[in-house]
């Protein structure tokens, strides 16, 4: 059966230079430049196109001091995906860098974990420290989509389509979900912020933006079980992804890479 095998792409849309101590709970003794890349992902297969996360726009980039390298609609268009025709978005969590661009996908329904909407609209948002990675306009936009009948809720592990499942990981954000996709090279896990960088999961270290440290660490174990190998785990913000995987087409180097083919040796 091949009707559950998908192509998977990482589409880079923004960049942020920062020093390594900012990326780790308890800091980093090396204090080196360790930038973050910002991605959305696309899963393309026999059941249609599934876009994972919706990034942020130019106004949010200015507000947060990030640099847009290519607006998400343009990045998706470069691999033949028309944003206004996309039917399904999987939202990994409601941090500002994963759920902006509210009107770019007018036809889409949004797949979200129950826990994430409860977390982002509930008591924990009374605390300024917890609110830092959230934007009220993003959360309100998602609530409006709930009332418009455009949100599909999931609780834990569920199948989105044959070969595509979502898995609640929590930890970094209380209702964070990762996505497991069957590809021709085996099962790839789009971890999103379940591991920001390869260093987090490979070294058992934790991003400072965290709801629950224990769940982050347990999440690493879960992701490793879901993926066919460590090479099948795709971190949410690591620029190395752009070097390890081939460009989706000539001219897309450092912008869009294929994740359903083996990494370069």
95 vs 168, which CB is nearer to Zn ion? Answer: 95
Residue 97 interacts with Zn ion (CB under 5 A): yes or no: yes
Please state, in angstroms and rounded to a whole number, the distance separating the CA atoms of residues 225 and 215: 15
174 vs 182, which CB is nearer to Zn ion? Answer: 174
* x/- track of binding to Zn ion for residues 223-262 (CB under 5 A): ----------------------------------------
Please state, in angstroms and rounded to a whole number, the distance separating the CA atoms of residues 31 and 68: 25
Q: Which of 7, 193, 238, 260 forms a contact with Zn ion (CB under 5 A)?
A: 193
**Considering the complex, what minimum distance in angstroms separates the CB of residue 257 from Zn ion?**
18
User: 151-154 and 109-113: which strand pairing?
Assistant: parallel
**Considering the complex, what minimum distance in angstroms separates the CB of residue 53 from Zn ion?**
8
**Considering the complex, what minimum distance in angstroms separates the CB of residue 221 from Zn ion?**
20
Kindly indicate which of the ranges 91-99, 116-124, 144-152, 216-224 contains the residues binding Zn ion, using the contact rule CB under 5 A: 91-99
H-state helical runs in the chain: 58-64, 72-77, 114-121, 128-131, 136-147, 198-203, 213-226, 240-244
Please state, in angstroms and rounded to a whole number, the distance separating the CA atoms of residues 69 and 163: 31
7 vs 97, which CB is nearer to Zn ion? Answer: 97
95 vs 145, which CB is nearer to Zn ion? Answer: 95
CB 135 within 8 A of CB 143: no
Number of H helices, E strands in the chain: 8, 13
Write the DSSP string, 46-103.
TTEEEEE-----HHHHHHHT-EESS-HHHHHHTTT--GGG--EEE----STTTS--TT
Q: How many residues bind Zn ion (CB under 5 A)?
A: 3
Kindly indicate which of the ranges 13-21, 148-156, 188-196, 246-254 contains the residues binding Zn ion, using the contact rule CB under 5 A: 188-196
**Considering the complex, what minimum distance in angstroms separates the CB of residue 113 from Zn ion?**
13
Within 104-163, the residues that bind Zn ion by CB under 5 A are none
Report residue 97 as tokens.
């860098």
CB 38 within 8 A of CB 14: yes
Q: Which of 6, 12, 95, 205 forms a contact with Zn ion (CB under 5 A)?
A: 95
Residue 7 interacts with Zn ion (CB under 5 A): yes or no: no
Report residue 2 as tokens.
């091949």
Residues of this chain that interact with Zn ion (CB under 5 A) are: 95, 97, 193
């Amino acid at each position: 059966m091949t009707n559950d095998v998908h192509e998977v792409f990482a589409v880079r849309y923004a960049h942020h230079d920062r020093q390594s101590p900012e990326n780790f709970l308890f800091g980093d003794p090396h204090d080196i430049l360790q930038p973050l890349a910002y991605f959305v992902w696309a899963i393309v297969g026999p059941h249609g196109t599934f876009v994972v996360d919706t990034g942020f726009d130019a106004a949010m980039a200015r507000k947060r001091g990030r640099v847009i390298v290519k607006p998400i609609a343009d990045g998706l268009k470069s691999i033949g995906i028309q944003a206004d025709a996309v039917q399904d978005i999987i939202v990994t969590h409601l941090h500002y860098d994963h759920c902006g661009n509210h009107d770019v996908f007018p036809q889409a329904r949004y797949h979200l974990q129950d826990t994430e909407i409860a977390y982002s609209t509930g008591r924990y948002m009374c605390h300024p420290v917890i609110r830092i990675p959230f934007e009220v306009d993003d959360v309100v936009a998602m609530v409006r989509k709930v009332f418009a009948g455009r949100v599909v809720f999931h609780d834990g592990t569920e199948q989105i389509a044959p070969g595509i499942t979502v898995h609640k990981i929590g930890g970094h954000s209380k209702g964070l979900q990762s996505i497991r996709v069957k590809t021709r090279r085996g099962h790839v896990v789009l971890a999103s912020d379940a591991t920001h960088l390869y260093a987090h999961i490979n070294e058992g270290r934790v991003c400072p933006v965290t709801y629950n440290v224990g769940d982050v660490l347990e999440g690493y174990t879960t992701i490793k079980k879901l993926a066919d190998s460590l090479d099948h785990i795709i971190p949410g913000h690591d620029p190395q992804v752009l070097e390890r995987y081939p460009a989706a087409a000539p001219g897309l180097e450092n912008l869009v890479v294929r994740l359903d083919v083996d990494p370069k040796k």
